[in-house]
Amino acid sequence: MAESNVQVACKRPNGLILELVDNSGQIQKVTLNGAAKSSLFRSEMGMMSGLYGVTSVPADFWQAWSKQNKDYPPLKYGEIFAQNSENALNKQAKEQEKQLTGLEGVDSKTTSVKTLDAEKRP
Protein backbone atom coordinates (compact mmCIF):
# COMPACT_ATOMS: atom_id res chain seq x y z
CA MET A 1 0.00 0.00 0.00
CA ALA A 2 1.28 3.46 -0.88
CA GLU A 3 2.17 5.77 1.96
CA SER A 4 -0.46 8.46 2.46
CA ASN A 5 0.45 12.11 2.73
CA VAL A 6 -1.14 15.18 4.24
CA GLN A 7 -0.77 18.73 2.97
CA VAL A 8 0.91 20.93 5.58
CA ALA A 9 0.54 24.70 5.41
CA CYS A 10 3.17 26.96 6.98
CA LYS A 11 2.63 30.67 7.46
CA ARG A 12 6.19 31.39 8.60
CA PRO A 13 8.03 33.28 5.83
CA ASN A 14 11.00 30.91 5.53
CA GLY A 15 9.28 27.71 6.58
CA LEU A 16 10.34 25.32 9.32
CA ILE A 17 12.35 22.15 9.71
CA LEU A 18 10.46 19.50 11.65
CA GLU A 19 12.51 16.81 13.38
CA LEU A 20 11.27 13.52 14.78
CA VAL A 21 13.31 10.80 16.48
CA ASP A 22 12.05 7.38 15.38
CA ASN A 23 12.11 4.14 17.42
CA SER A 24 15.62 3.28 16.19
CA GLY A 25 17.01 6.63 17.37
CA GLN A 26 17.32 8.03 13.84
CA ILE A 27 16.29 11.63 13.28
CA GLN A 28 13.77 12.15 10.50
CA LYS A 29 13.54 15.67 9.08
CA VAL A 30 10.91 17.34 6.95
CA THR A 31 11.39 20.86 5.64
CA LEU A 32 8.18 22.84 5.31
CA ASN A 33 7.87 25.46 2.60
CA GLY A 34 7.21 28.88 4.04
CA ALA A 35 4.87 31.63 2.91
CA ALA A 36 7.61 33.06 0.67
CA LYS A 37 7.24 29.87 -1.42
CA SER A 38 3.55 30.58 -2.05
CA SER A 39 2.70 31.07 -5.70
CA LEU A 40 1.03 34.34 -4.65
CA PHE A 41 4.15 35.76 -2.97
CA ARG A 42 5.71 38.75 -4.73
CA SER A 43 9.03 39.96 -3.34
CA GLU A 44 8.30 43.56 -4.31
CA MET A 45 5.19 43.48 -2.12
CA GLY A 46 6.87 41.88 0.89
CA MET A 47 5.25 39.36 3.17
CA MET A 48 1.47 39.55 3.18
CA SER A 49 -0.88 38.03 5.73
CA GLY A 50 -2.87 35.06 4.47
CA LEU A 51 -0.02 33.40 2.56
CA TYR A 52 1.07 29.85 3.29
CA GLY A 53 3.70 27.58 1.85
CA VAL A 54 2.41 24.04 1.24
CA THR A 55 4.38 20.82 1.64
CA SER A 56 3.27 17.22 1.16
CA VAL A 57 4.31 15.30 4.29
CA PRO A 58 3.93 11.58 5.12
CA ALA A 59 0.81 11.28 7.27
CA ASP A 60 2.46 9.05 9.88
CA PHE A 61 5.33 11.54 10.32
CA TRP A 62 2.89 14.44 10.73
CA GLN A 63 0.73 12.53 13.19
CA ALA A 64 3.71 11.55 15.37
CA TRP A 65 5.39 14.96 15.13
CA SER A 66 2.24 16.97 15.90
CA LYS A 67 1.41 14.71 18.87
CA GLN A 68 4.96 15.04 20.22
CA ASN A 69 4.98 18.84 19.69
CA LYS A 70 1.39 19.77 20.53
CA ASP A 71 2.52 22.77 22.60
CA TYR A 72 4.93 24.13 19.97
CA PRO A 73 3.69 27.73 19.42
CA PRO A 74 3.52 27.69 15.57
CA LEU A 75 1.40 24.51 15.77
CA LYS A 76 -0.61 25.61 18.78
CA TYR A 77 -1.50 28.97 17.23
CA GLY A 78 -2.26 27.74 13.72
CA GLU A 79 0.84 29.00 11.91
CA ILE A 80 1.27 25.42 10.69
CA PHE A 81 -1.54 22.94 10.14
CA ALA A 82 -2.35 19.92 8.03
CA GLN A 83 -5.30 18.69 6.01
CA ASN A 84 -5.88 15.56 3.96
CA SER A 85 -6.82 17.46 0.81
CA GLU A 86 -5.84 20.66 -0.92
CA ASN A 87 -9.47 21.87 -0.82
CA ALA A 88 -9.66 21.43 2.96
CA LEU A 89 -6.25 23.09 3.34
CA ASN A 90 -7.35 26.10 1.26
CA LYS A 91 -10.57 26.38 3.26
CA GLN A 92 -8.72 26.47 6.58
CA ALA A 93 -6.12 28.90 5.20
CA LYS A 94 -8.95 31.22 4.08
CA GLU A 95 -10.54 31.04 7.55
CA GLN A 96 -7.21 31.94 9.16
CA GLU A 97 -5.93 34.48 6.63
CA LYS A 98 -6.25 37.47 9.01
CA GLN A 99 -4.25 35.69 11.73
CA LEU A 100 -0.82 37.28 12.02
CA THR A 101 2.48 35.65 12.96
CA GLY A 102 4.29 38.87 13.87
CA LEU A 103 6.75 38.20 11.03
CA GLU A 104 4.85 40.10 8.37
CA GLY A 105 6.55 43.12 6.85
CA VAL A 106 5.70 46.66 7.81
CA ASP A 107 3.62 48.62 5.31
CA SER A 108 5.61 51.84 4.98
CA LYS A 109 2.61 53.61 3.43
CA THR A 110 0.45 53.19 6.54
CA THR A 111 3.17 53.01 9.21
CA SER A 112 5.62 55.71 10.18
CA VAL A 113 9.06 54.30 9.45
CA LYS A 114 12.23 56.16 10.36
CA THR A 115 15.18 55.69 8.03
CA LEU A 116 18.72 56.97 8.07
CA ASP A 117 19.70 59.51 5.47
CA ALA A 118 22.19 58.05 3.02
CA GLU A 119 24.91 60.53 4.04
CA LYS A 120 24.44 59.73 7.75
CA ARG A 121 24.84 55.97 7.35
CA PRO A 122 28.04 54.46 8.75
Overall average pLDDT of the 64-79 stretch? 92
Instruction: Supply the pLDDT for residue 44.
Output: 45
7, 59, 58, 71: which is closest to 33 by C-alpha? 7
The pLDDT > 90 percentage for the chain reads: 31
Beta bridge partners of 30: 18
- Across the chain, the runs of DSSP E, i.e. the strands, are 5-10, 16-21, 27-32, 53-58, 80-83
Nearest to 96 by CA among 72, 113, 79: 79
Mean pLDDT of the chain: 78
pLDDT at 111: 65
Burial class (CB in 10 A: 0-12, 13-18, 19+), 8: buried
Q: Is the pLDDT of residue 113 over 80?
A: no
Of the two residues 98 and 62, the one the predictor is more confident about is 62
The single-letter DSSP state of residue 122 is: -
Contact 7, 86 (CB under 8 A): yes
- The kind and range of the H/E element at 76 are helix 73-76
Least confident of 13-27, 37-51, 70-84: 37-51
Q: Which residue has the higher pLDDT, 102 or 11?
A: 11
Residue 58 confidence (pLDDT): 95
Q: What is the mean pLDDT of residues 102-108?
A: 60
Confidence of residue 86 (pLDDT cuts 50, 70, 90): confident
Q: List the chain domain ranges.
A: 5-120
